[in-house]
Amino acid sequence: MAGVSFRDVKKNFGAVKVIHGVTMDVDDGEFVVIVGPSGCGKSTLLRMVAGLERISSGEISIGDRVVNDIEPMDRDIAMVFQNYALYPHMSVRQNMAYGLKIRKMSTADIEKRVHRAAEILELGTYLDRKPRELSGGQRQRVAMGRAIVREPKVFLFDEPLSNLDAKLRVQMRVELQALHRRLGTTSLYVTHDQVEAMTLAHRMIVMNAGRAEQIGAPIDVYQKPATTFVAGFIGSPPMNLFPTKVGGRPVLLGVRPEHLEPCAASDADYTADIILVEPLGADTLAHGSIEGTTMIARLPAATHVAEGKLPLRFDPAHRHYFEPDTGARIEV
């Protein structure tokens, strides 16, 4: 077991800078999710830990060993790819055993590990099938099995669930959590799905254009987003941002859709022009604008709202202020 630490890690492909310096420590046994929009460098960061991509500058260590110049197989990691990357001509058993065979582990030990992994993942009856004879979810499990049998210090996942349908994704998410509780292996998990990030992560790294905008526990990130980018990316629908002034200084006021509530006109902080009401069953989304800024309010399902003027107020405990130019959070 070991943690992973990043020391000012940068990456460029030729002249293109992709990662602009990430520093953080992943603790032993921690489950850290790297989340961000497409193209922000999540995969690149993960692949540098795996050793599939060279580190342009800075240092990555696994345990207390700097791994910059260590081959992937010697880094004591295992990786699960989005497209599974199973060997198509090998059976499930051979797929899982391949890495161990190369390490010259004895056949008996290999068998033991493969069986244990198959048992954990409920793959027992599929051991002699080829990957193409399996469903997407089963292939995903085999890919995890291949990672588990290695008994690595760190698991690396690159969007492992994004090829599955919505229902299976939820199920696999739960299984992943159970698996992590059982094995307790340090894990780095890349996703662009914020629900996966919120539910799986002990801590998450919110990335934007090659920078770690915020690192923290999901609930802290949600409650105290460090920038307007994080405020917009974590939480759905995104946080509303209204230009306003505090003590004569221009700022952006952030209020999450769920923290707006309808009220009597006399108590209202704002009056919204609602142009669209979407009843979702569990709650209702009201889209519109306030003083020319588009906004969304998430209202309890029972509230009856119609298009037109809607007086709203918000709980002052749930407001956020940001610098209009840099987007950085201001504590008032």
Partner 1 sequence: MNLSSPPSGMVENRPWLTFFSHAILVAGVLLVAFPLYITFVASTLTLEQILSVPMPLVPGDQFWNNYTQVITAGSQRGAAAPVGRMMLNSLVVALVVPLGKISISIISAFAIVYFKFPLRNFFFWMIFVTLMLPVEVRIIPTFKVAADLGILNSYAGLTLPLIASATATFLFRQFFMTIPDELAEAARIDGAGPMRFFVDVLLPLSKTSMAALFVIQFIYGWNQYLWPLLITTDESMYTTVIGIKRMITGGDALTEWHLVMATAMLALLPPALVVMLMQKWFVKGLVETEK
Ligand X SMILES: Nc1ncnc2c1ncn2[C@@H]1O[C@H](COP(=O)(O)OP(=O)(O)OP(=O)(O)O)[C@@H](O)[C@H]1O
24: contact with partner 1 by CB under 8 A: no
Q: Which is nearer to partner 1, 101 or 112 (CB)?
A: 101
Q: Which of 9, 78, 190, 230 binds partner 1 (CB under 8 A)?
A: 78
The answer to whether residue 44 forms part of the interface with ligand X (CB under 6 A) is: yes
Q: What is the DSSP string of 268-317?
A: -SEEEEEEEEEE-SSEEEEEEEETTEEEEEEEETT----SEEEEEEE-GG
Could you please report the per-residue DSSP string of 65-84? EE-TTS-GGGTTEEEE-TT-
Among 15, 16, 106, 132, binds partner 1 (CB under 8 A): 132
Q: Does residue 87 belong to the site contacting partner 1 (CB under 8 A)?
A: yes
Distance between CA atoms of residues 117 and 207, nearest Å? 33
Tell me whether residue 56 or residue 199 sits nearer to partner 1 (CB atom).
56
CB closer to partner 1 out of 141 and 298: 141
Q: For residues 140 and 161, is the Cβ–Cβ distance under 8 A? A: yes
| Region 200-259 residues binding ligand X, contact defined as CB under 6 A | none
Rule CB under 5 A: say whether 43 interacts with Mg ion: yes
Tokens at 18, concatenated: 């992709």
Burial class of residue 325 in the structure, from the number of CB atoms within 10 Å of its CB (0-12 exposed, 13-18 middle, 19+ buried): exposed
Would you give the end-to-end CA distance of the chain in angstroms? 42
102 is an interface residue for partner 1 by CB under 8 A: yes
Task: Specify the residue for token string 């580190």.
Answer: 55
Site size for ligand X (CB under 6 A): 12
Using CB under 5 A as the criterion, what x/- string covers residues 259-298 for binding Mg ion?
Answer: ----------------------------------------
Find out whether 200 and 170 touch, Cβ atoms under 8 Å. no
54 binds partner 1 (CB under 8 A): no
Contact indicator for 189, 42 with CB cutoff of 8 Å: no
Residue 25 in 3-state DSSP? strand
Q: Which does 87 bind (CB under 5 to 8 A by kind): ligand X, Mg ion, partner 1, none?
A: partner 1
Scanning 55-63, 68-76, 106-114, 292-300 for contacts with partner 1 by CB under 8 A, the matching segment is: 68-76
Q: Measure the CA dihedral 100/106/110/111, to 10°.
A: 160
Which 23-42 positions form the footprint of ligand X (CB under 6 A)? 36, 38-42
Interface with ligand X by CB under 6 A: which residues? 13, 16, 18, 36, 38-44, 192
Interface with partner 1 by CB under 8 A: which residues? 50-52, 71-73, 77-79, 81-83, 85-89, 98-99, 102-103, 132, 146
